[in-house]
Structure 1
Amino acid sequence: MEDQLAKSSADYEILVEIGEGAYGKVYKARAIREPQRLVAVKKLNIPVDSESGIPAFMIREVALLKKIEFFNHPNIVKLLNVSATWKKTLDLTLVFEYVDQDLSTFLAKAPQTGLSREMIKNLMVQLLQGLDFLHVNMLVHRDLKPANVLISGQGRVKIADFGLARIYTSRIALTPCVVTLWYRAPEVLLHSSYTSSVDMWSAGCIFAEFFLLRPLFCCLSEVQQLQKIIEVIGLPPEEDWPAESAVAYSPNWAGDRTLSQMLPNLDLEENELLLKLLTFNPLKRIPASKALEHPFFKGP
């Protein structure tokens, strides 16, 4: 680890900025010693409190990336190098394999006629294989969305950005402000405990987006998001409502639209898989391993 930390980001020539977050930027770069090799360099600059030390989320992201790096899974973005300098601020540089674009960009470029069934099937299988790997290894991503899923020019899907990921045991009663709002599961919106099933809800939202070419649930607040979800998938039975939620169950939440009406072009297998992914009760929501066995992936 010390050898890796000693490596300088000077090993890479920055070419262009490709992204920006709250704590830093991401650049497309070239490895100086291997001119044909492109990488993504994530540079984080964070003021360090002398009392609290390095922010926990940064330690967590690097630790999780190092943990999954060992397995070299084809559907998880690869961490190639870590370097850090610590003066008045902590400058952390993470170097990843470079992938051409994310799913948001890919879908924005899709033809108006939409993606083919075979393309959707291929993308979804890879996404589920990546999630199954994470969940088997007791990792929950907690921020799955098209912008955090990369796709190479060869069609390889890779889950990226583990800044909110956690190792979990049993049910997690943690920060409710995880997962970007449009892809946030009902149990998170209701500030209830959650498990890896939050990733499966997000996968369901992405699955719908493959057909719609736009987000399925697109709201400005948690209340609106929850109302939209119930409007689309229907009001769940009261026993499926989290008992610990501060939001009371009410029949008035019910709408008159259904998922099958909103996505009329889905066939029986596509609709069934989508409903299993977008199941209100997380204990009844299909896990990645079972989703991969769904008939949707077996047919022509």
Structure 2
Amino acid sequence: MTEPYAVPVPKGYRVGGWEVREPLATGAFGSVYAARRTGPGDPRTAALKFLPTGTGTPRQLTHLRELVDREVELHRRLKQPRLIRMYETLVVDDPGRPELDGATVLVLEKAEGSLNGVRPQEPGPLLAQICEGLAQLHQAGWVHGDLKPANVLLMADGSARLADFNMAAELEGTHAYTPAFSTPDYTPPELLWSEIGERGRRIRPSADVWAYGVLAHLLLTGSFPLPGGTPSARRDAAAAYARGTDELRLSPELPDAWRGIVRECLARTHAERIGTQALLRRVEAAAGTGRSPRLPRRRSRRTTVVAATATTVAVAVLGYGVNTWADQGGSDGRNNSEATAAVYGAAELRTGKGVPVTYRRLIVDSAHDCQQAEVTPALIAAMLKTESGFDPELSDPAKNEYGIARWTPSVLRWWIRADGTPAKETPRPPLTPAESIPAVGRYLCFIEPRLKTSLSGDRRVLLAASYRTSYKKVNDAGGVPPNQRAYAARVAHWLKEYTPTGEQ
């Protein structure tokens, strides 16, 4: 492992009737390990998802408990063939290990890999099964809320199962309410800048339909349906498309049988998108798999699929709700490992130094969106470490600072949009990493050319000091102002830690 696990569990550790084996995946808060049963019974193997619900700050614990409750409730009430199974839940009772004591453990069906970074040779049958899983969820009155390749698991027989239900929510009429976080590339335009209420963000099943359209286009063509080299650029393209100022340009590689399906999934407004049941029938016809039985009857047979190659599956991400795979790949941090967030941008941001895997892609992409050489992934990571310790739930009302980058909402309003215009309304806490981290890159990019060239000291550290105070105060002081030197020293320390050897 090149990244520390959020919940480190030693090999051979026992919880309930299970013995922990090799690590599978980790994220900012949870970690997943393979496990084998220690006594008689079936199944013999499982995936144990450890969530540290017994330790942490009150806000973190509340957030984690809400996510666990969502996932457990869905598993308890829905047992469908296209959804990953949960066998049981456990609670660790081990005062001798305070980092584990009180942790919630979900015992889940073990998969072989996920669709993350995988382009199957015959994606049609897999897409039919994914759509069937969505139809099962929607028919039962639930919205997934975070459909993407990492959350589609591939089983030993090559079939697909939907996973990661900690963003799932039960419909209340036409809407459900989910946490204020999602993956931008799979989020429909109407939710990218939606208002977040006390219960979270309002979401419809049509959001899953949009995500399915993006996923289908990606599996069928190897590219996203909206232009842009980074998530931020594609997010802007989605906004322009929703406003009607740009058209949807589907890849010419998209097969004719799927072109109309993807276009109906990616309609500009939620009301124009195809319904899930109609979508399932269209997909099954395009995939040539035959019609699945009408819901809510359980399926009597499985559709035969072509599994991804063993080499590809070996580097795929297991979508157990932690979103990232432990580093399994090559030494250069690219090639195979490019598919995993664990080593994303490793040439510019050192792995194994405590940067949470969940935020690596956001950090690297946010730096790349700026053409100023001093705005680097290592600098942004060092600032986030200094500002919050990478805590996305940070709340400091006394200073009016919130989130992973300690933004003041009225200031964030000016940098939250990629097109350089201020948001119409001041964002309200909680401020998500997806909003906060790209805004740091934009603000630093604005500051850099405004700093005097005659200033003494590491220009990257001067940028960080300007973020904490202002570029005018740094210019006036001829360097880091005296009251910011302790902050600047911490940034400099972490900047050295996170910058790859030879780049410092």
Tell me how far 1:120 sits from its aligned partner: 1.9
Partner SS for 1:43: strand
Residue 39 of structure 1 is matched in structure 2 by 46
Partner SS for 1:126: helix
Q: What is the distance in 2 between the residues matched to 1:93 and 1:299?
A: 37
Residue 296 of structure 1 is matched in structure 2 by 286
Is 2:184–2:235's contact at 8 Å kept on the other side of the alignment? no
Unmatched segments (≥5 aa) in structure 2: 1-13, 196-201, 291-504
Residue 242 of structure 1 is matched in structure 2 by none
Partner SS for 1:132: helix
Match of 1:271 among 245, 259, 268: 259
Residue 208 of structure 2 is matched in structure 1 by 199
> Could you list the per-position Cα deviations for residues 106-148 of structure 1 after superposition, in whole angstroms to 9, with x for gaps in the alignment?
33xx5xxxx2xxx222011100110011111111111111111
Q: What is the number of equivalent residue pairs in this alignment? A: 258
1:153 counterpart = 2:164: no
Q: 1:91 to 1:281 in 2, by over 3 A?
A: same
Tell me how far 1:199 sits from its aligned partner: 0.9
Tell me how far 1:63 sits from its aligned partner: 1.5
1:9-24 counterparts in 2 under 5 A?
A: 9-24=15-30
Q: What is the distance in 1 between the residues matched to 2:124 and 2:176?
A: 33
Q: 1:37 to 1:299 in 2, by over 3 A?
A: closer
Tell me how far 1:282 sits from its aligned partner: 0.8
Q: What letter matches 1:78 in structure 2? A: R
Q: What is the distance in 1 between the residues matched to 2:289 and 2:143?
A: 30
Match of 2:90 among 83, 89, 99: 83
Is 1:39–1:95's contact at 8 Å kept on the other side of the alignment? yes
> Could you list the per-position Cα deviations for residues 167-219 of structure 1 after superposition, in whole angstroms to 9, with x for gaps in the alignment?
11134374573321111111111306430111111111110111223444563
1:59 counterpart = 2:59: no
1:219 counterpart = 2:199: no
Q: What is the distance in 2 between the residues matched to 1:157 and 1:272?
A: 23
Residue 189 of structure 2 is matched in structure 1 by 186
1:84-233 counterparts in 2 under 5 A?
A: 84-85=91-92, 90-107=102-119, 110=120, 115=121, 119-172=122-175, 174=177, 177-191=180-194, 193-217=202-226, 219-221=230-232, 224-229=233-238
Give the RMSD, CA atoms, in angstroms: 2.9
Q: What is the distance in 2 between the residues matched to 1:176 and 1:83?
A: 24
Partner SS for 2:52: strand
Partner SS for 1:292: helix
Partner SS for 2:137: helix
Q: What is the distance in 2 between the residues matched to 1:206 and 1:140?
A: 16
Q: What is the distance in 1 between the residues matched to 2:179 and 2:156?
A: 35
Q: 1:187 to 1:176 in 2, by over 3 A?
A: farther
Tell me how far 1:266 sits from its aligned partner: 2.5
TM-score by length of structure 1 reads: 0.76
Is 2:125–2:289's contact at 8 Å kept on the other side of the alignment? no
Partner SS for 2:131: helix
Q: 1:91 to 1:104 in 2, by over 3 A?
A: same
Q: 1:165 to 1:95 in 2, by over 3 A?
A: same
Is 1:170–1:195's contact at 8 Å kept on the other side of the alignment? no
Q: 1:299 to 1:264 in 2, by over 3 A?
A: farther
Q: 1:16 to 1:203 in 2, by over 3 A?
A: same
Q: 1:299 to 1:41 in 2, by over 3 A?
A: closer
- Compare 187-196 and 267-276 and name the one that shifted more: 187-196
Aligned-residue identity in percent: 24
Tell me how far 1:268 sits from its aligned partner: 2.8
- Compare 276-285 and 93-102 and name the one that shifted more: 276-285
Residue 283 of structure 1 is matched in structure 2 by 271
Residue 360 of structure 2 is matched in structure 1 by none
> Could you list the per-position Cα deviations for residues 251-285 of structure 1 after superposition, in whole angstroms to 9, with x for gaps in the alignment?
6xx23x6423xx11223321000101111211121
Tell me how far 1:163 sits from its aligned partner: 1.0
Tell me how far 1:58 sits from its aligned partner: 1.9
Q: 1:90 to 1:36 in 2, by over 3 A?
A: closer
> 1 or 2, which has the higher strand percentage?
1
Residue 297 of structure 2 is matched in structure 1 by none
- Compare 124-133 and 172-181 and name the one that shifted more: 172-181
Q: What letter matches 2:25 in structure 1? A: G
Is 1:219–1:225's contact at 8 Å kept on the other side of the alignment? yes
Q: What letter matches 1:81 in structure 2? A: E
Q: What is the distance in 2 between the residues matched to 1:152 and 1:28?
A: 14
Is 1:144–1:179's contact at 8 Å kept on the other side of the alignment? no
Q: 1:129 to 1:55 in 2, by over 3 A?
A: same
TM-score by length of structure 2 reads: 0.47
